[in-house]
Amino acid sequence: MSRAREARDALPAELGEHRALLWRIAYRMLGSASDADDILQEVSLRWLAADRVAIHQPRAWLISVCSRLCISQIRRTKRAREAYVGPWLPEPVASAREDVLSLGALLRLQRLKPAERIALVLHEAVGLSHGEIAAMLGRTPVACRQALARARRKLREAGPGGAASAASEERVEALRAALAAGEPRALIALLAEDAVLVSDGGGRVLSARRPIARADRIARFLLALLRKGRGALRVEGARISGASGLAIRTASATPFAVIALEATPNGAIGELLVMRNPEKLRDFTEPAAAARPAR
């Protein structure tokens, strides 16, 4: 059983239907499945310690506590993020649910200020009004409306490489076949000319310390990465944070890398997010990870 499922199952039964919602809020806010697990555990402890007779709207109370804990966590981890070795990417999860944000969308969320991020998540993912968000966070409805407007504007302006949607299953499968065959020309044909690859190794394993631009350079990097396995690696299709992607495994099924893919409007692959940090691949440690019940 994964750590996330253990944490979820340990929550009090009273939280019921709110568990999945709270986890999704925390995951979107923090970009880390393990941190989202910790937030759920803390929410659980606070729920048990609270005077629940006085809580007339449990769902609103839980969302408010979860949101405030997430904002505090963002502030605590700010320095660690700034000192992170190489590019930082969100932690992928093995989920086929369509309401789980893609890794690219999560990355863009992490670039927003905490107030903008929470306003966007609570309004669009939970469906709360500006007044409800304001009451939960101790802000004014006007401030929440302005934060949401800034968040939407920044997301429109900051889409990296023009990538805007998950790559089609057909293109993902074609990329898998090209990688498995070691065909650089086939790889280049599937990528947008100005595609961008971002690799997260966290300083623990070999990865690109800076984003790689251009289809030909990306093809060379991916094929060189596969050669590090000396022929013992296999490339598989996988469901990554709700979208089709690729998982590269060793002969013993240990995850070597997970690749999330996003497409440009014409369907070419414009953004490749390569997760190599072992600490962020725990949800893919079992071959059947993609078949686990969604959070």
Cα separations (Å) of 100 from 21, 96, 239, 243?
Answer: 11, 8, 11, 9
Give the closest residue to 105 by CA, choosing from 277, 249, 241.
Answer: 241
Secondary structure tally for the chain: helices H, strands E: 11, 7
Q: What are the residue ranges of CATH 1.20.140.160 in the chain?
A: 3-84+108-158
Q: Predicted confidence band at 11 (pLDDT cuts at 50, 70, 90)?
A: low
Cβ atoms of 275 and 89 within 8 Å: the answer is: yes
Q: Predicted confidence band at 161 (pLDDT cuts at 50, 70, 90)?
A: very low
pLDDT above 50 for 290:
no
Question: How far is the first Cα of the chain from the last one, in angstroms, to the nearest whole number?
Answer: 13
Summarize the confidence of residues 175-201 as an average pLDDT.
95
Summarize the confidence of residues 5-18 as an average pLDDT.
60
- Whole-angstrom Cα distance, residue 122 to residue 128? 6
Predicted local confidence at residue 119, as pLDDT: 95
Average pLDDT, the chain: 87
Q: How many CB atoms lie within 10 A of CB 17?
A: 7
User: Tokens 């700010």 label which residue?
Assistant: 78
Cα separations (Å) of 264 from 48, 85, 167, 259?
Answer: 47, 28, 8, 16
Mark out the alpha helices in the chain (DSSP H runs): 3-9, 18-30, 33-49, 58-82, 103-110, 114-120, 130-137, 141-157, 169-181, 184-190, 215-227
Predicted local confidence at residue 91, as pLDDT: 94
Summarize the confidence of residues 78-97 as an average pLDDT.
88
Q: What are the residue ranges of CATH 3.10.450.50 in the chain?
A: 162-291
Per the document, the length of the chain is 295
Predicted local confidence at residue 99, as pLDDT: 67
Predicted local confidence at residue 294, as pLDDT: 44
Summarize the confidence of residues 225-239 as an average pLDDT.
85
Q: Predicted confidence band at 160 (pLDDT cuts at 50, 70, 90)?
A: very low
The architecture that CATH gives domain 3-84+108-158 is Up-down Bundle (1.20)
- Whole-angstrom Cα distance, residue 202 to residue 221? 17
pTM for the predicted model, two decimal places: 0.86
Predicted local confidence at residue 55, as pLDDT: 85
pLDDT above 80 for 210:
yes
Predicted local confidence at residue 230, as pLDDT: 62
pLDDT above 90 for 78:
no
Give the closest residue to 117 by CA, choosing from 59, 83, 71.
Answer: 71
Predicted local confidence at residue 293, as pLDDT: 37
Q: Predicted confidence band at 115 (pLDDT cuts at 50, 70, 90)?
A: very high
Phi-psi region of 222 (alpha: psi -120 to 50; beta: other; left: phi over 0): alpha
pLDDT above 90 for 242:
no
pLDDT above 90 for 248:
yes
Predicted local confidence at residue 202, as pLDDT: 92
Q: DSSP secondary structure string, 215-238?
A: HHHHHHHHHHHHHTTTT--EEEEE
The CATH fold assigned to 162-291 is: Nuclear Transport Factor 2; Chain: A, (3.10.450)
